[in-house]
Amino acid sequence: MRKYIIAGNWKMNMNLSESIALISAIKNSVANEKLNCELVICPPFTNLETASALLKDSNVKLGAQNMYYEENGAFTGEVSAAMLKSVGCKYVILGHSERRTIFGESNQLINKKIKKALSSELLPIFCIGETLEERETGTTFDVVKKQIVEGLSEISETDVLKIVVAYEPVWAIGTGKTASKEQAEEVHLFIRNLLAELYSAEIANEITIQYGGSVKPDNAVELLSQPNIDGALVGGACLKAESFLGIAKAC
């Protein structure tokens, strides 16, 4: 059965000492909690090793925010899947809209990264979602379909089950504007049906589909109570232990 996954994308925030304080606060708060979700934090690369040590024996898992698909070599500034594994990452966020829009990542590049993550035993959190213009011109479903079909190209049935899909309408990321539960559920259902078409209904039913876009403790319950919303990818609200855990408790 698919599980709720709440993941915090710290983006380019938190230096080392701030990270230690936030991780300690999260870890201590959940130590005796029976959460109905997998809780994941994705700090910047520079803090992963420390995070991994702090999270040893805790119920909080570690993820990275990006990686490159090559094994190693002359790729200045990039980080490989093996490097992320070596510092204890379980997840890696791939195809975040900021990677797509600011750094020009294409569906084809994201597909290569997903394949490399999977063959390296990292679980991809595969982000998709439409811009405001695409929503307003009525192309949301076309855009999301293309991102999924191209992003998951040549990914096997066995491997797709290891992927977490994160539907994040770009207009809702960091803007304080959340998709209504109806708007979000409509696209989540579309994604699930598309996965059923590409793979099978059984497989589609097992895949966690997170929602992302200004999720906070006070809107988490209504979003997470939708039948096809299985967790959240959280930006702003994950930078404070209290709000991040408030979202986790909504599960």
Chain residues in the site for ligand PEP (CB under 6 A): 9, 168, 173-174, 212-215, 233-237
Q: Closer to ligand PEP at the Cβ: 69 or 171?
A: 171
The catalytic position among 96, 130, 134, 188 is 96
Q: How far is the CB of 199 from ligand PEP (least distance, A)?
A: 25
215: Cβ–Cβ under 8 A, 6 or more apart, which residues?
178, 223, 232, 233, 234, 237, 247
Q: Judge whether 154 counts as a catalytic residue.
A: no
56: Cβ–Cβ under 8 A, 6 or more apart, which residues?
none
* Cα distance between residue 238 and residue 111, in whole Å: 27
Among candidate residues 148, 158, 141, the one with its CA nearest the CA of residue 206 = 158
Residue nearest to ligand PEP (CB): 235
Using DSSP's 3-state secondary structure scheme, residue 30 falls into helix
What percentage of the chain's residues is helix, strand, coil (to nearest 5)?
50, 15, 35
Q: Closer to ligand PEP at the Cβ: 233 or 250?
A: 233
Q: How far is the CB of 177 from ligand PEP (least distance, A)?
A: 9
**229, 185 Cβ separation under 8 angstroms:** yes
Q: How far is the CB of 214 from ligand PEP (least distance, A)?
A: 4
Q: How far is the CB of 183 from ligand PEP (least distance, A)?
A: 15
Quick one: DSSP state of residue 80?
B
* Cα distance between residue 248 and residue 224, in whole Å: 10
Q: Closer to ligand PEP at the Cβ: 124 or 213?
A: 213
Q: Closer to ligand PEP at the Cβ: 199 or 237?
A: 237
**14, 43 Cβ separation under 8 angstroms:** yes
Q: Closer to ligand PEP at the Cβ: 89 or 236?
A: 236
What DSSP element (H or E) covers 159? helix 157-160
Q: Judge whether 168 counts as a catalytic residue.
A: yes
The catalytic position among 130, 134, 168, 185 is 168
Q: How far is the CB of 117 from ligand PEP (least distance, A)?
A: 17
**51, 43 Cβ separation under 8 angstroms:** yes
Q: Kindly list the catalytic residues.
A: 96, 168
